[in-house]
Amino acid sequence: MRPEPRQAERGAALLTVLMLVAVIAVIAAGALERLTLTTRLAANAAAGQAAEGYARAAETLALTRVDTLLGQGRSRVTLAGGWSGRPFGLPLPGGGVAVARITDGGNCFNLNSLVSSGEAGTYTSYGPAREQFARLMRLIGIAPHLAEQVAAGAADWIDTDADQQANGGEDATYLSLATPYRTGGTLMADRSELRAVAGVTPDLFRQLQPWICTLPRAEATRINVDTLLPEQAPLLAMQYPDSMPVDLARQLLLRRPPQGWADIGAFQNQANQAGVVAGLNSTGPLAVTTSWFALTIDVTVPGAERHERALVDANRLPAQLVSRQWGEGT
């Protein structure tokens, strides 16, 4: 027997209602998922903004510490007081923390010193700096031929002319690669740019990274013998062509007076007593003061982390932050 028409209608209506309920449930689930995602994104954005704000506060505190370190007419910067690398923190609400560290930012080889500046923003390769960079690389165990190639290539990368040096490389060298690109033609903004120079492999860059920096000037950084650490001895030895072995440089730094050398003359006298023949005077690339400071900041708040590496210019007071970089790899 066929069902009564009214019973068939009731069955169809029930099926329709069930289908509507299912569709509405799917729509509601999708809306709830989007709402949850939006809420999380908003919370992450708020946490990120808070972390950035706390990092800026840590920057301000660090700049104040640099001003204090250089203030009151001090003519020297030494390791006295244990300020270098000492973490100082900002207690944050909600269980977060911001930790900052200051170190001497000039105890490194400035890659931008490989050129000298000219008129209208032009840069020309500077031979003495190339030789010093190659010497530094040899001192840390890089093969001489590779050291010459990297030093020349880095100078060609920065200079604004198209004259390729021996072992160097201008645009033609890089345009012939499978993935072509051009040289920078200006000062490097970050030491990571060295990775683009011909001959610089990832392993070589990791080996060089602790020794190099990119100060925003085409001039050699003045190594502070009163803040240089014994493990940084190659940076001192590179100042003396073939006359100061790394071991001797390390021994000089280990025998440094507790309050540092009073001036470069005092350091040079001790170096001469140790058998170092070549001398540097107070106008040379060594100093007992610091004009650049490196700043690292790590911020952790619920829902976000921020890592910063910054450069502080202390050539004039008050000190100024001239660059900052964010990211896990800083």
Q: What is the CATH number of the domain that holds 320?
A: 3.30.1300.30
Tell me how many domains the chain contains. 2
279 has a pLDDT exceeding 80: no
Residue ending a domain, choose from 183, 210, 237: 210
One domain, residues 67 and 138: no
One domain, residues 184 and 139: yes
pLDDT digits (tens, 9 = 90+) for 32-71: 777 777 666 666 666 678 888 888 999 999 999 999 988 8
Per-residue pLDDT band at 118 (split at 50, 70, 90): confident
* Residue 91 maps to a domain: yes
* Residue 42 maps to a domain: no
Look up the domain containing 119 and give its range: 112-210
* Residue 202 maps to a domain: yes
- Counting residues of the chain whose pLDDT is more than 90, the rounded percentage is 58
Average pLDDT over residues 27-34: 77
One domain, residues 131 and 185: yes
Average pLDDT over residues 170-190: 92
Question: What pLDDT is attached to residue 245?
Answer: 93
> What distances in angstroms separate CA 284 from CA 103, 161, 190, 223, 288, one per listed residue?
22, 28, 25, 10, 11
Question: What pLDDT is attached to residue 254?
Answer: 96
153 has a pLDDT exceeding 80: yes
Taking the model in full, what pTM does it have?
A: 0.83
Residue ending a domain, choose from 170, 190, 210: 210
In the chain, the amino acid numbered 314 is A
* Residue 47 maps to a domain: no
